[in-house]
Structure 1
Amino acid sequence: MISQWFTIVSTIIAPVFVLVIIGVILQRKFHLDMYTLSKMNLYLLVPALIFTKLYETAISLHEFFTIAGLTLLSLAILYLVARVITTVFRFSKSMRIAFSNSVIFYNSGNYGVPVNDLVFRSDPYAMSIQVIVLLIQNIVTFSYGIFSLQSSDKSFWQALLSYAKLPVLYAMLAAIALNVTKIDLPLALYTPATYISDAVIAIALITLGCQVAELKLKRNLGKVYGSLSLRLLLGPAIAAGLIYLFQLEGITAQAFFISAAMPTSVNSAIIAQEYNNEPEFSAQTVLASTMLSSVTVSLVIFLSTILY
C-alpha cells in the first residue's frame, strides 16, 4: 500500500508540481504577461483540447449528459452546504459569495487535465470525462460566477453574451457533431489541432505556477480552513456518494471521482479581484488549496484504484 502511494506521488503528483514550480520561477524572474498566457489558454489551448478529446472519444450523448448532470448536482450540493455555513456563522454578503465561489469553482483545467492525463496515460475516454467537467466548470464560472459579483451596470444578457463569445462552447459543439455523424476531419485541420492540444499540459501548469507566484498567503485563515475542508474533502466525498447512487463504474467512476478533488480555481481569485469582492480571501484559498492538494489529490487517486 505504501509503495502504491509512493508511486502515485512520484509519477503523478510530483510531475505536476515540478511544472508549477517552473512557472513560479519563470514568473518571479521574468514577470511574464499573465494576460497573454490566460488568453492563449482560454482561446486556443483549452478549445483545442476539448475539440480533439471529444472528437476522438467513443463517449455517447447519454454518458455526456450523465457526467454533466452529476457535475452540476455536486456543485449544487456544495453550494447549499457553503450557504448554510455562511448563514449560521453570519458571514457578510461579500464573504458569503467569495466563500461559496471558493468551494464550487475548482481547477479542472490547469490542474485537472494534467492529472487526468497522467493517471489514465492519455486515455481519450478518461480525458473526455475531465473535459466535460471542465466545460461545466467554465459555464458555471462565467455565468453564475460573474452574475454573483457583477456590478449593477451589468445585465444577465450581457454576461451571457460574453460567454457566447468564448470558443470553448463551439469547440465542444463541433466535436460532438463530428463524432456523432462519424465525419472524418481533414488531416490539414486535425493535425494542427492535435499539436495545439498536446501543448496544453505543460503550458497550463506553467501558467498555474505563474498565477500562484502572484498570490500571497496571509494570517487570519479561519475561513480559509473552512473553504479547504469543503473543497478538498467534501467535494470528492459528494462525488463518491453520487457515483454510488447512480452506479457509475470503471474509468467513468474513477475519472469523475478524481476530477472532484481538484483545488480551488484561480478564476475564483481573478473574478474576485476584478469585482473587488474579498480578493485577499480568494487568493489565500487558491494558494492554500493548491499546496494541500498534493496530499489530498494523491489520496483520492489512491482510493479510486481501490474503490473502482
Structure 2
Amino acid sequence: MIARILLDVVLPVFVLIIAGSVMQRLFRLDLYTLSKINFYYITPAVVFMSLYQSNISIELLGGVALFYSLYVGILYVLSFALTRSMKYSGGMRAAFTNSVLLDNSGNYGLPINQLVFAGSPLAASIQALIMSFQSLLTFTYGVLSIQGAKLSGNYRSVIIGFLKMPVPYALVLGFAFHAFAVPLPTFVTQPLGYVQNSMVAIALLTLGAQIVKYPLRLGRSSIYFSMILRLIIAPVIGYLLILALGLQGLPAQALLIASGMPTGVNSSILAEEYDNEPDFAAQTVLVSTLLNIVTVTILITIAQGL
C-alpha cells in the first residue's frame, strides 16, 4: 500500500516540483508573475468551483472551522512555549511560529488532495476551506507577528491587505452559489473548469521554482524543532482532534492529510518582505517540503483507515 501511494500520489507531485526547479535553474523564471498567476487567477477559480460543485453542508463547514481553530490554537501554544523556553529573540519567535502555523495548503495541499481523492468535489471543498483559513491567518496573525511593534497600533494596512485577497471572496461566492443553487452558463463554468484543471501543474511548477533558490544549510537546531512541530506534532494534533470531534469518512481523511502539509512559502515571503530571519524561513520551507515525501506518504496510509 505504501509503495502504491508513493508511486501514484507522492512521486507525481515531486516530479512536477523537480520540473519547476529545473526550469528555474535554466531560465530564471519570473517568480513574482508565477505567484500572481497562482494567487489571483488559478487559486480563486479552484476555490470557487470546488465549493460550487460540492455537497458540503453548513454542519460540515462548522466542523471544519472548529477543527482548524483548535488545531491552530494548540500549535500556537506549543510554539509559544518552545520559543520562550529556548529564549529566542522577538523576531526569531515570530519567524519560528509562522513556520509552524503557516503551511502549504495551497500550491502543495490542493494537488495532493486532488490526487489522493481523484478530484472529489467534497474533498476539494474541504481543502479549499483550509486554504482560505490559511490565507486569513497569513494576512492577519502572520503579518502582525512579524511587524510587532512596528505597527504601533495601526492595523489599517493589514485590513486592506486582507480585503485585497481574492480567495475569501471566491470562498463566499462559491458557497453562496451552491447553497442557493444559482445556475451558471457554460461560458462561465467552462473557462473556470479549464483554469481549475491547470492548477496541479502550474502550482507545483511554481513551488519547485520557489524552493530551488534557497541554499540548503542544516546547521540550525531551530529548523529541526520547527520540522518536529510542523511534520510530526501537527498531524498528531489533527488526528486527535478528528477523534475528539467524531469526524469520519472522507472529511476525516482530508483533514488529517491537510494537517501534515509542509511549511508554506508565504512564511518565507513574509520574512523577506519584513527582513525578519529570511534565511531561517527559507530553510524551513525547503527542508519541510523534502521531508514531506516520507511524512505525507505515512499520513495518506493512516488516513485510508479512517
- Superposed counterparts of 1:47-196, under 5 Å: 47-150=44-147, 151-152=150-151, 155-196=154-195
Pairwise CA distance, 1:154: 8.1
User: Separation in 2 of the partners of 1:269 and 1:29?
Assistant: 23
Pairwise CA distance, 1:7: 0.1
Match of 2:233 in 1: 234
Pairwise CA distance, 1:36: 0.3
Structure 2's unaligned 5+ residue stretches are none
User: Separation in 2 of the partners of 1:58 and 1:303?
Assistant: 25
Contact kept? 1:113, 1:130, Cα under 8 Å: yes
2:261 corresponds to 1:262: yes
Choose 62-71 or 116-125, whichever is displaced more: 62-71
Pairwise CA distance, 1:234: 0.6
Choose 21-30 or 211-220, whichever is displaced more: 211-220
SS in 2 for 1:29: helix
User: Separation in 1 of the partners of 2:273 and 2:215?
Assistant: 17
Match of 1:209 in 2: 208
CA-to-partner distance for each residue in 1:36-73, whole Å, 9 max, x for gaps?
00001110100000000000001012211210221121
Task: Name the CA shift for 1:94/1:195 in 2 (closer, same or farther; >3 Å).
Answer: same
Identity, in percent, stands at 41
User: Separation in 1 of the partners of 2:291 and 2:8?
Assistant: 18
Q: What TM-score do the two structures reach when normalised by structure 2?
A: 0.97
CA-to-partner distance for each residue in 1:216-269, whole Å, 9 max, x for gaps?
122422110000000000110000010000000000100000000100001101
User: Separation in 1 of the partners of 2:41 and 2:235?
Assistant: 30
The one-letter amino acid of 2:22's match is I
Match of 1:19 in 2: 16
The one-letter amino acid of 2:229's match is L
The one-letter amino acid of 2:62's match is F
User: Separation in 1 of the partners of 2:156 and 2:179?
Assistant: 31
Task: Name the CA shift for 1:154/1:290 in 2 (closer, same or farther; >3 Å).
Answer: farther
Pairwise CA distance, 1:175: 0.9
Contact kept? 1:217, 1:283, Cα under 8 Å: no
Choose 4-13 or 165-174, whichever is displaced more: 165-174
Q: What TM-score do the two structures reach when normalised by structure 1?
A: 0.97
Match of 1:223 in 2: 222
Q: How large is the Cα RMSD of the aligned pairs? A: 1.1
The one-letter amino acid of 1:138's match is S
User: Separation in 2 of the partners of 1:246 and 1:219?
Assistant: 38
Q: How many pairs were matched up?
A: 304
Contact kept? 1:232, 1:289, Cα under 8 Å: yes
Pairwise CA distance, 1:153: 6.9
2:280 corresponds to 1:281: yes
The one-letter amino acid of 2:304's match is T
The one-letter amino acid of 1:255's match is A
Contact kept? 2:129, 2:171, Cα under 8 Å: no
The one-letter amino acid of 1:157's match is R
Contact kept? 1:19, 1:206, Cα under 8 Å: yes
User: Separation in 2 of the partners of 1:303 and 1:23?
Assistant: 29
Contact kept? 1:130, 1:259, Cα under 8 Å: yes
User: Separation in 2 of the partners of 1:44 and 1:75?
Assistant: 27
User: Separation in 2 of the partners of 1:96 and 1:71?
Assistant: 22
Contact kept? 1:72, 1:136, Cα under 8 Å: no
Runs of 4+ residues deviating >6 angstroms: none
